[in-house]
């Protein structure tokens, strides 16, 4: 007396997108207006595109035993280490001037936030001493 499965196959309806429904209903699309934010977004993207077009120069490693051991496919080195070594050879290192600029930026960031935290600590210290010890 159990229910017998029906022999009919399921039919999956094709789902319409919002655009297709609007076209079917005859709704006219308004042209989109981009705000001024579009030009502000384009500036960093152009800079990123210039960086992406820089010429790739892989690092030339010395022809020593370690370099030969890691680059030649051998059964002694697991594939993880061989692939890691290959990825490391593809790294493009920054120039000396880029490194100096980034180092200065990190130091300025650290000094700025240490001053900000010390000022907040000093202010909260004075506030709590005035309220609690009064």
- Tokens 């936030």 sit on residue: 113
CA pair distance 39, 21, nearest whole angstrom = 32
- The contacts of residue 69 (CB under 8 Å, 6+ apart) are 77
Report the pLDDT value the prediction gives residue 117, as an integer from 0 to 100.
98
Query: Of 58, 60, 86, 61, which is closest to residue 72 (Cα–Cα)?
Result: 86
CA pair distance 79, 72, nearest whole angstrom = 11
Report the pLDDT value the prediction gives residue 116, as an integer from 0 to 100.
97
Q: Where are the alpha helices (DSSP H) in the chain?
A: 18-25, 37-52, 65-71, 79-89, 96-132
Cα distances (angstroms) measured from residue 34 to each of 31, 40, 41, 62, 119: 10, 11, 12, 53, 42
- What is the pLDDT tens value at each position of the chain, 134 positions in all? 556 656 677 777 777 777 778 788 876 766 666 555 556 556 666 666 666 566 555 556 556 665 565 555 556 667 888 888 888 888 888 899 999 999 999 999 999 999 999 999 999 999 999 998 87
């Amino acid at each position: 007396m159990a229910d017998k499965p029906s022999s009919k196959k399921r039919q999956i309806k094709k789902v319409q997108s919002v655009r297709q429904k609007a076209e079917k209903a005859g709704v006219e699309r308004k042209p989109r207006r981009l705000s001024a934010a579009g030009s502000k977004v384009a500036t960093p993207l152009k800079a990123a595109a210039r960086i992406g077009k820089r010429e790739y120069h892989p690092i030339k490693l010395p022809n020593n035993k370690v370099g030969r051991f890691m680059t030649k496919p051998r059964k002694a080195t697991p594939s993880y280490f061989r692939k890691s070594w290959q990825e490391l050879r593809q790294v493009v290192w920054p120039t000396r001037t880029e490194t100096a600029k980034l180092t200065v930026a990190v130091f300025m960031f650290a000094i700025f936030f240490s001053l900000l935290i010390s000022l907040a600590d000093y202010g909260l210290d004075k506030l709590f001493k005035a309220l609690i010890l009064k």
